[in-house]
Amino acid sequence: MRKLALFVTLLSLLSCTQPNRLPCGDHYIRAGNLTEYGQYDAAMAELDTVIRNDPRNAIAMGLRGTLLSYKGKKTEALAAYDRALQIDTHFALGYLKRATLLIEMGQYAAADQDLDMAIALQPDIPYAHWDKSICAHALGHYDDAVENISKELALRPGLAHLHYNRGSYYATLHNYTAALADFDTAISLGYQSPSRYYSKALCEYHLGQKDAACADFKHAAGEGDTLSVRYITTICGK
């Protein structure tokens, strides 16, 4: 949802303020507002009017793809993104959103190519490097996953979920010291995943920090994490 809201906002800014974009009309503005309030069918009706009046409005077609994706119509969404990018081959957000959909469909190599296009067109585009890290991790390129999520953190420092994800990538590489540092940072920034103390405890366990690990396993178990119970029984003695 956060990415959807961000996309809608950025589309509104692009279409309303950039001189090389088609100007907003009332139907497009209403579509954006309805989308932000979760009224997707009504928003789609407004977009259909925009596209009927202007079939080459790439931005409206991109938002249509996002709405279709959110409604679970992935094949139709992909076709809408394809059409948007045929209309405007420099539509960075279109590449980003098509990549996000391709990730959901498990097509990581294709998604990574779209993300490269998005970054080439707009180097600071939000979440593109994060999505590239997801692709890299899924394809077994764990060092690349760390590199890309680190680039996202450099652009958007202080995001707890990015630190947690990077910690998970470091843990996959058995770099438990770096992983622990990221898990600690994520927790200090307010990350609320039920697994946060379990992940932290596993790193401490692998680093030989038994007392700290047991304390965090117990913390995790107290928050309902059932995986921690086994470790409490086997390594903590109670």
Domain segments of the chain: what residues?
160-238
- Which parts of the chain register pLDDT below 70? 1-25, 238
The two tokens of residue 105 are 């469909």
pLDDT at position 99, please? 97
The answer to whether the Cα torsion of 96, 90, 46, 83 is positive or negative is: negative
Q: Please state, in angstroms and rounded to a whole number, the distance separating the CA atoms of residues 109 and 11.
A: 26
Residue 43, amino acid: A
Just give the CATH number of 160-238: 1.25.40.10
pLDDT at position 50, please? 84
pLDDT at position 134, please? 97
pLDDT digits (tens, 9 = 90+) for 129-162: 999 999 999 999 999 999 999 999 999 999 999 9
Provide CB contacts within 8 A for 18, sequence distance 6+: none
Which phi-psi region, left, alpha or beta, contains residue 174 (left: φ > 0; alpha: ψ -120 to 50)?
left
Q: Please state, in angstroms and rounded to a whole number, the distance separating the CA atoms of residues 112 and 107.
A: 9
Report helix, strand or coil for 9: helix
Q: Among candidates 134, 92, 136, 130, which has minimal Cα distance to 114?
A: 92
Q: Please state, in angstroms and rounded to a whole number, the distance separating the CA atoms of residues 144 and 130.
A: 11
Q: Please state, in angstroms and rounded to a whole number, the distance separating the CA atoms of residues 80 and 98.
A: 9
pLDDT at position 35, please? 80
Q: Please state, in angstroms and rounded to a whole number, the distance separating the CA atoms of residues 75 and 96.
A: 17
73-89 burial, b for 16+ CB within 10 Å, e for fewer? eeeebbebbebbbebbe
Q: Please state, in angstroms and rounded to a whole number, the distance separating the CA atoms of residues 237 and 81.
A: 56
What is the model's pTM?
0.84
The answer to whether the Cα torsion of 53, 55, 58, 60 is positive or negative is: positive
